Amino acid sequence: MSSFLPEINFAGFSKIVEDTYEFFKTSDENAIYERLPYIKEKLDKMAGPLLSTFPPKKSIDEIALDWDKFFKIDSEIYSYGLEYGWLEDRMDVEKLLLYNHVPYHFRIGLYAHKGNFGIEEEFLIKDSFNILVKAQKSFDQLKKYGNFKQKML
C-alpha cells in the first residue's frame, strides 16, 4: 500500500524493509533473536495505520505469497502498475478514493509512478484523438492541394 499512496514515504518504507532483509541475511541466529522484538515493533508501527485503513481480506502470509507469485508472472509491475482488482481481492480498498467506479483492470502506479493511475482505454482514446487530429491535418492539406490543382487546370 505504501508503494502507491501519494502521501506515504515509500522510500523510507523501502529502506526499512531492505535494511531488515540485509540484517536477516547477514546476521547469526542469536543477533536475530535479540533484535527481533525491535524489528517487529518497527514493522508493526509502519504497517499498523495502513492495515487499519485498508484491512486485509486474506491473511498477510497469503497476500505475501500471492505477491511473490505475482512477480514471477508479471515482472514489469513497476512499469505497468498493479491491477486494482488484484488489490481489491486481497484488501479492503473502500477508503482508496480514486473514482466513482474503478474497473478490475484499472492500473495503480507503483514506486516511481506512485500517485499515477490509468486504464488502457484511456491510452486508446488518447491515441485515437491524436490520429484524428493528424488525419484532419492531412485531409486539410490534401484538400488545399486539390483546390490548387483545380485552379491550375
Write down the domain spans for the chain.
10-118, 120-153
Q: How large is the average pLDDT for residues 101-128?
A: 80
Angle between helices 29-53 and 10-26 (to 10 degrees): 150
3-state secondary structure of 9: coil
- Phi–psi pair at 104, nearest 5 degrees: -55, -45
pLDDT at 75: 67
Radius of gyration of the chain, Cα coordinates, nearest whole angstrom: 25
The helices-and-strands tally (H runs, E runs) of the chain is 6, 3
3-state secondary structure of 51: helix
**What CA–CA distance (Å, rounded) separates 99 from 139?**
38
Average pLDDT of the chain?
Answer: 86
Per-residue pLDDT at 25 exceeds 70: yes
Q: How large is the average pLDDT for residues 12-36?
A: 90
Name the percent of the chain lying above pLDDT 70. Answer: 98
Give per-residue pLDDT as tens, 54-106.
Answer: 999 999 999 989 988 877 876 677 788 888 899 999 999 888 877 778 888 88
Strand order in the sheet with 82-83: 82-83, 107-108, 117-118
Q: How large is the average pLDDT for residues 38-55?
A: 89
